[in-house]
Amino acid sequence: MKEQFAYPVSVSRKENGFLGLIGYNADTDELVFTTKGSIDGDHVHWFKEIVNLKLADKLDETKQAISEKNLTLVFEVIDPENDPHIIEAQEKEIILLDAVKRDLEFEKMDYDYLRSLAGQLGVAVREIELMLHDAADFEKFYVENLARDPSAESIEGYVLEDAAGLMVKLKLPYYLFWKSIRDYLERYQTNKSTRVKRELLADPVFRKFMNWLELQDESYKQKSIIELRKLFIAQS
């Protein structure tokens, strides 16, 4: 990637939630709520609940901003109650990621506009934490982050965007480790003969975690990976 990027490259934290989008229906003069894969599923319902909580007195301003510039607003949706992921969150939140023009050709508003809109609506906005100015900067950033201790608590990762609009994600070791465990447990619950990936089986923390889990009662199968991790660490 370091040879493909058009520098500089911005680095934003990748929050650990699901994607929520707000658009506008000109025929009905109403906001439209969707997720990446649905317009009427549970995740849409949870997203609308959080929007109504966070933007209770700003929905008219939101509709005006979207309709005037023909935009779709893209949010990371954090819902630890209904949709816990890998990284623990303390409260429900929406984070404005981008404002994309509703057109056949992809185009989005610049970061200054995004920050201004987030301030106007009173919502959190993705923060650019770092700028990488050349291939050497990127390689240093990449190597340092992949060398992080997977047992040390961390964020999910980062989103990198270059000067030409190319975007990629970098997932960090802590997130990847516990996601691998969660994915394995989900498969194991339906198929006891599920094989463990070689690199996971070789990890002493994974083996210790599985030995601990085997000693717990059946109710533990219903717990999220966040709950299991906290109990495992507390009892280790």
Task: Report the alpha-carbon angle 15-82-61, nearest 5.
Answer: 65
194 pLDDT more than 90: no
The answer to whether 64 and 132 have CB atoms below 8 angstroms apart is no
* Pairwise CA distance, residues 226 & 151, whole Å: 14
pTM across the whole model? 0.90
Q: Which domains, from first to last, does the chain contain?
A: 15-128 (3.30.470.30), 129-173 (no CATH), 174-235 (no CATH)
Q: Is residue 218's pLDDT more than 90? A: no
Q: How far is the C-alpha of 47 from the C-alpha of 18, rounded, in Å?
A: 9
Q: Examine the pLDDT at 192 and tell me if it is beyond 90.
A: no
Report the half-sphere exposure of 53 (CA within 13 A, side-chain side).
13
Is the model more confident about 122 or about 194?
122
Which pairs count as long-range contacts for 210-218, CB under 8 Å and 24+ apart, including other chains?
A: 212/236, 213/185
Work out the angle at residue 19's Cα, subtended by the Cα atoms of residues 13 and 24, and round it to the nearest 5 degrees: 120
In whole angstroms, what is the distance from residue 27 CA to residue 89 CA? 38
Q: DSSP class of residue 177?
A: H
Total residue count of the chain as it appears in this document: 236
Q: Quick one: what percent of the chain has pLDDT higher than 90?
A: 80
